[in-house]
Structure 1
Amino acid sequence: VSRAWKWLGRLFRLCFAAAIAGISGYIAYNWISNPPTTQRRPKGPEAVLVETTPVEMETRQIVIRAMGRVVPANQIQLAARVSGQITGTHAHFVPGGRFAAGQKILQIDPADYELIVRQQTGNLTRMESDVRLEMGQQTVAKQEYELLLEEVDEADADLLLRQPQLAAKRASVEVARATLEKARLDLDRTEIKAPFNSVVQNRNVELGSYVSPGASLATLVGTDEFWLEAAVPLDELKWIDFPDESDAAGSRARVYNESAWGGHVHREGRVIKLLPGLESKGRMAQVLIAVADPLGDNETGQPPLLLDSYVRVEIDGACVDNVAHVPRSALHGGARVWVMLPDNTLDIREVDIVWGSAEFVYVINGLRDGEQLVTSNLASPLPGMLLRTKDMPWGPTSPKRERKTDGAAA
């Protein structure tokens, strides 16, 4: 009996193992024959990340930028008007020396001219004495004429009364007076004085030099005002105000010399004239700008504006109303801009540019106040494409993925 139970136990275990193996094989066969599949949702449009700036329609002033050279407003060759030896020079009579208007610069030897003045003074005294003597003789002649009983004509009466002689003596007095005035004037001209506030640019004579009338003594440059010849494109002239006959002030200008003064220091000036000729190299118009007190004599702290300096100038032009300031980098294809519409789609527009510089342009038509101007680059811009900014939610179907545009921040 015990042996029979042992065989039954073995048979049960064997059947149980076979059942397990069969069930496992069946499950594996069904898994391989019918693998699971995934359901994919259709991919929706993906928003492109861009940077935008709000459009502001406002009044803007046009600023014309140009380069120019500093030239003298007043420059003369100081010349002698009498001849003689230079016997005195001012201590500041050197290149760079400053003189006020009327200040004495040089002295020509006055000895000869002082003698001429004394001589002509004596000559005038003698002539005046001759007039008085002639008037005495005329009195005697008149008495003799009154004793005559005969009638004489008017011409003979003048001769009898010595009228021509008196007229000649009086004319000699006038000549003597004029000669004396000329001698005094020549004496005064032995002092060479500055005709205006000036600085010595070149000196041509020294102490002891002999000069003749018309000889160049020095080159003087006026210090009250310097001029700046600025080269301006022809199409920019319409924005500049030039003074007219009513003495209206011209456009304001700011002069910069970064290499000498630094980037934040400038001098103020005014547009005064438009020169009649074009600049020889660039064929641009030449605008004349006046800068008062260029060497800083009257205002402390003002940097000196030196002659022949090549400087940068900004001229305040006219104001234009209802324009948008658009960076030139946001301008595409000459006159197109990209606008992000309220539904977050792209709109490509043609605009009208009223004025532009290298950095920005002023748009007068094509934009409205408050619109979002796209300032970043798009690789393939298409009207209606979906856009977003960094403060907007992610695209509807790509919560973990982001497409960046060139220059857009993550």
Structure 2
Amino acid sequence: MASKVIKIAVPVVIIVLAVVASSALISMRKPPEKKEEQRQSVLVNAETIQTEDLVYKIRSQGTVKPRLETNLSSEVNGRIVEVADNFIEGGFFNEGDLLVRVEQSDYLTNVKAAQASLANAQAALEEEKARGRVAEEEWRSFTDGTAPELGLRRPQLASALATVRSAEAELERANRDLARTEIRAPYAGLVKSRNANLGQFITRGSSVGTIYGTDVAEIRLPLTDNDAGFIQLPDFANDSVKPDVTLTATVSGEVVQWPAKLVRTEGVLDERSRVIYAVAQVQDPYQRNSPDKTPLRFGRFVQAEILGDATTNVIVVPRYLLLAQQQVLVVDKDSQLQFRPVVLERSDERHAYVRSGFLDGDRLAVSAIANPLAGTVVRVSGDTDEQVADDAASEEATALTSQVKE
């Protein structure tokens, strides 16, 4: 019996001793040292706010088109006997150059026939004039009264004169038809398309081709009401105002610019886009007078920069920094984030031009900050670098002082 008690008591004693020992060890353990966690302020980039005096540059775009475009048509019937070598797609020509000639034989015959009719009419007129003089002399030899119109052959003279004028008109018409057998360029330009070939028979009104004038090119530039408010647009009352325009395009991998002038507006708003179109002109776009320069070809899409009005004391802010309700995120004089409502003079796709709204000591926050809150204390990048430099200089000065004392 005693042995059984001992067998039961020994394990119990061991467990009790283990519990007591562990409790003692736990009570002797020192608690871990508590350190307060210090969270650094958010590091942001900020720029000093400065006012500027500038001239607005309004951006637009458009396609280059010729000011003059003509569909050449024949005014006579006939077979084409000559086509100019430069009357091909892309060929250049000067004003007055012969492009197409129609066979002239029939028209030369018509001219000769009209000349003969005119000669006969003029001879008949001279004959009637002579008869009129003879009739007047005979009348005066028999009586002293006033001779009647019929007696002096005045009606016959008028009829002969009318016949002469009709013959002259027929000769003029024949000469015009003869001249129209030659289709000449009404201005200097290039050939857009050709619809007639050598030996082809054409009739009056047949199209022989389309030409473009190369003296002046035009570009229609859409402007919103906001943009138009900052440009001195030419109008009928003040057509001397022609703002400068710079056209830009990439040609063969190189960025090329051409000077232009804003010469007019189309006067009405587009019903669909609600913009007004201004028209810029470029002189000698194909550089025919300056062959060493890059030509501005018709059909090219160009970017336009229009020189607008001047302004003073505005703050230029990148457009992406402008928040909803015309607010801008700034770092105030206490290094806290603040949302500043600002007054805009205008804005475009790149910049916002602020007239007022910033306070003294504000700096423009240009960093991307997730969920910014007003009043959040931040560290400005430039200020942090200066503080680190000052601390390093102070430590170096302290070390040098210690070495001198030793």
Same fold (TM over 0.5): yes
1:177 equivalent in alignment to 2:168: yes
List per-residue Cα deviations over 1:184-222 (Å, max 9, x = no partner): 121111111011112111111101111221111111111
> C-alpha displacement at 1:58, in angstroms?
2.2
- Tell me what 1:78 maps to: 72
- Cα separation, partners in 2 of 1:394 and 1:363, compared to 1, 3 Å: same
- Tell me what 1:142 maps to: 136
Amino acid across the alignment from 1:249: V
2-structure distance, mates of 1:341, 1:87: 85
- Cα separation, partners in 2 of 1:39 and 1:198, compared to 1, 3 Å: closer
- Tell me what 2:3 maps to: none
1:385 equivalent in alignment to 2:377: yes
Work out which of the two has the higher radius of gyration on C-alpha atoms and give 1 or 2.
Answer: 1
2-structure distance, mates of 1:58, 1:237: 22
- Tell me what 1:230 maps to: 221
TM-score under structure 1 normalisation?
0.76
2-structure distance, mates of 1:396, 1:329: 34
Amino acid across the alignment from 1:247: D
- Tell me what 1:367 maps to: 358
- Tell me what 1:67 maps to: 61
> Which structure exhibits the higher relative contact order, with contacts defined as CA atoms closer than 8 Å and separated by 6 or more residues?
1
- Tell me what 1:192 maps to: 183
- State whether residues 245 and 304 of structure 2, in contact with CA within 8 Å, keep that contact through their aligned partners in structure 1: yes
Q: Identity over the aligned pairs, expressed in percent?
A: 27
1:108 equivalent in alignment to 2:99: no
List per-residue Cα deviations over 1:34-59 (Å, max 9, x = no partner): x9x9999x999966543222222122
- Tell me what 2:120 maps to: 126
- Cα separation, partners in 2 of 1:396 and 1:335, compared to 1, 3 Å: farther
Amino acid across the alignment from 1:148: F
Bigger drift between 326-335 and 114-123 goes to: 326-335
- State whether residues 47 and 388 of structure 1, in contact with CA within 8 Å, keep that contact through their aligned partners in structure 2: no
- State whether residues 141 and 161 of structure 1, in contact with CA within 8 Å, keep that contact through their aligned partners in structure 2: yes
List per-residue Cα deviations over 1:365-403 (Å, max 9, x = no partner): 113698532222344443373544434315999x9xxxx
After TM superposition, list the pairs within 5 Å mapping 1:259-408 onto structure 2: 260-262=251-253, 264-271=255-262, 272-274=264-266, 276=268, 278=270, 284-342=275-333, 344-367=335-358, 372-379=363-370, 380-383=372-375, 385=377, 387-390=379-382, 391-394=385-388
- Cα separation, partners in 2 of 1:370 and 1:262, compared to 1, 3 Å: farther
After TM superposition, list the pairs within 5 Å mapping 1:37-76 onto structure 2: 48-76=42-70
> C-alpha displacement at 1:287, in angstroms?
3.6
- Cα separation, partners in 2 of 1:267 and 1:93, compared to 1, 3 Å: same
Partner-residue secondary structure (3-state), 2:174? helix
> C-alpha displacement at 1:255, in angstroms?
2.3
- Tell me what 1:4 maps to: none
- State whether residues 72 and 222 of structure 1, in contact with CA within 8 Å, keep that contact through their aligned partners in structure 2: yes
1-structure distance, mates of 2:144, 2:354: 107
List per-residue Cα deviations over 1:72-112 (Å, max 9, x = no partner): 32212101111111111111111111111111111111122
TM-score under structure 2 normalisation?
0.77
- State whether residues 330 and 376 of structure 1, in contact with CA within 8 Å, keep that contact through their aligned partners in structure 2: no
- State whether residues 197 and 223 of structure 1, in contact with CA within 8 Å, keep that contact through their aligned partners in structure 2: yes
2-structure distance, mates of 1:365, 1:284: 28
Q: How many residue pairs get matched?
A: 359
| Structure 1 portions without partners, runs of 5+ | 1-31, 400-410
Bigger drift between 50-59 and 342-351 goes to: 342-351
1:255 equivalent in alignment to 2:231: no
- Cα separation, partners in 2 of 1:79 and 1:371, compared to 1, 3 Å: same
- Cα separation, partners in 2 of 1:67 and 1:215, compared to 1, 3 Å: same
> C-alpha displacement at 1:284, in angstroms?
4.8
- State whether residues 67 and 213 of structure 2, in contact with CA within 8 Å, keep that contact through their aligned partners in structure 1: yes
> C-alpha displacement at 1:288, in angstroms?
3.0
1:96 equivalent in alignment to 2:90: yes
Bigger drift between 182-191 and 324-333 goes to: 324-333
- State whether residues 88 and 108 of structure 1, in contact with CA within 8 Å, keep that contact through their aligned partners in structure 2: yes
2-structure distance, mates of 1:389, 1:238: 39
2-structure distance, mates of 1:166, 1:91: 53
Bigger drift between 374-383 and 182-191 goes to: 374-383
1-structure distance, mates of 2:53, 2:359: 14
2-structure distance, mates of 1:145, 1:369: 115
Amino acid across the alignment from 2:310: C
Bigger drift between 139-148 and 244-253 goes to: 244-253
1:239 equivalent in alignment to 2:253: no
Amino acid across the alignment from 2:107: Y
1:214 to 190, 205, 223: 205
- State whether residues 101 and 195 of structure 1, in contact with CA within 8 Å, keep that contact through their aligned partners in structure 2: yes
- Cα separation, partners in 2 of 1:90 and 1:39, compared to 1, 3 Å: closer
Bigger drift between 192-201 and 71-80 goes to: 71-80
2:150 to 151, 159, 169: 159
- State whether residues 339 and 374 of structure 1, in contact with CA within 8 Å, keep that contact through their aligned partners in structure 2: yes
> C-alpha displacement at 1:261, in angstroms?
4.8
2-structure distance, mates of 1:120, 1:289: 50
